[in-house]
Amino acid sequence: MRAVSTGAEQVASLLREAERAVILTGAGISVPSGIPDFRSPGTGLWEKVNPMEVAHIDAWRRDPDRFWSFYGERFASLTDKQPNEAHLALAEFERRGLVRALITQNIDRLHRLAGSERLIEVHGSIERSVCLECGSKVSIDRVVELLATSEGAPLCEVCGAPLKPDVVLFGELLPEQALAEAQQLAMDADLMICVGSSLEVYPVAGLPAITHGGGGRLVLITQGPTPYDGDAEVKLDGDVVTELRAVLAAL
Ligand code: ZN
């Protein structure tokens, strides 16, 4: 416990000193909410399918009905999930004026539910689905209703085309504006705290390098190795909830 609290105290003081801190989160922060990281093999929904195939833009284009027979299950598995103490701690940092923004790779909208306000969801969010034909946006609640009342893909109620979840599927580029905002924040940051991400998937994995290259400090709160372990001021590698609870307590 002492080792954890010492590291947590260091993170707390870096946070207090920083003027332009940003947070970057990945799948690991949502694991305690019951959302398995699909990169850990054999977990839940991803047990029997290859996410790179079923959640690929080509799969959606080829056969939206089949795509949604899988993705609808993913929606259903995510809609009842709640933010955990780690999400709440990060929202609290923002409320106290200690961080400027939160960049996340997660699509589960749990940061928003936890109260984070300046949130850049670089992989999109399940909050909405979109019609690529006419540009309509549909809320998750309506999509869930459409999925429950009809077979196959939910259809746009304006033009009848199949909807696409407003998340970045495999094979798709990241939304330009969100990525540009994330890069600008990373460039300006004097501290970046990376939580629950192995920082292996580009372009998001390049954000800490932008901060570090500009003289900003890095903190890692994640289990397992990352490419930035040697650059980080502090690395906390315990459970994210325990670690962030300790940081909050040390503030
Ligand atoms: Zn439409």
Q: Checking DSSP bridges between strand 191-195 and strand 217-221, what pairing results, if any? A: parallel
Q: In the block, which residue shows the tokens 């940092």?
A: 93
- Of 33-37, 153-157, 171-175, the range with the lowest mean pLDDT is 33-37
Whether residues 150 and 211 share a domain: the answer is no
Please tell me whether residues 240 and 188 are part of one structural domain: yes
Q: What is the DSSP letter of 224?
A: S
Residues 226, 198 contacting (CB under 8 angstroms)? yes
What CA–CA distance (Å, rounded) separates 66 from 49?
Answer: 13
How far is the centre of ligand 1, averaged over its atoms, from the C-alpha of 138 (Å)? 10
Q: Residue 178 C-alpha to ligand 1 middle, in angstroms?
A: 23
Is the peptide bond preceding residue 41 cis, with omega within 30 degrees of 0? no
**Is residue 176 domain-shared with residue 140, that is, in the same domain?**
no
Residues 49 and 145 in one domain: yes
User: What pLDDT does residue 196 have?
Assistant: 96
- 47: domain CATH number is 3.30.1600.10
218 shares a domain with 107: yes
Same-domain status, 107 and 117:
yes
The reply to whether 73 and 153 lie within a common domain is yes
Any idea what the CATH number is for the domain that residue 250 is in? 3.40.50.1220
Q: What is the pLDDT of residue 231?
A: 97
Do 47 and 151 lie in one domain? The reply is yes
Of 167, 197, 228, which residue constitutes the final position of a domain?
167
- Same domain membership, residue 233 and residue 182: yes
Give the model's confidence band at 40: pLDDT under 50 very low, under 70 low, under 90 confident, else very high.
low
Residues 98, 42 share a domain: no
Judged by average pLDDT, the poorest of 49-53, 96-100, 152-156, 180-184 is 49-53
Q: Which domain does 71 fall in, by range? A: 38-80+128-167
**98-150: per-residue pLDDT in tens?**
999 999 999 999 999 999 999 999 999 999 999 999 999 999 999 999 998 88
Statement: residue 214 has pLDDT above 90: yes
User: How far does residue 148's CA lie from ligand 1's centre (Å)?
Assistant: 19
User: Residue 173, Cβ neighbours under 10 Å: how many?
Assistant: 9
What confidence tier does 46 reach under pLDDT thresholds 50, 70, 90?
low
pTM: 0.91
Residues 235 and 192 placed together within one structural domain of the fold: yes
What is the C-alpha separation between 7 and 13, in angstroms, rounded?
10
Is pLDDT above 60 for 91? yes
pLDDT band at residue 194 using 50, 70 and 90 as cut-offs: very high
The stretch 192-218 carries a mean pLDDT of 96
Query: Same domain, yes or no, for 108 and 227?
Result: yes
| Of the residues 108, 138, 167, the one at which a domain ends | 167
Kindly give the pairing relationship between strand 191-195 and strand 101-104.
unpaired
Find, among 169, 174, 230, the residue nearest to 202 by Cα. 174
Name the domain boundary from 167, 192, 220: 167
Q: How far is the CA of 172 from the centre of ligand 1 (A)?
A: 20
Residues annotated as catalytic (active site), given as ranges:
123
Ligand 1 centroid to Cα of residue 201, in Å, is 32
**What is the domain count for the chain?**
2
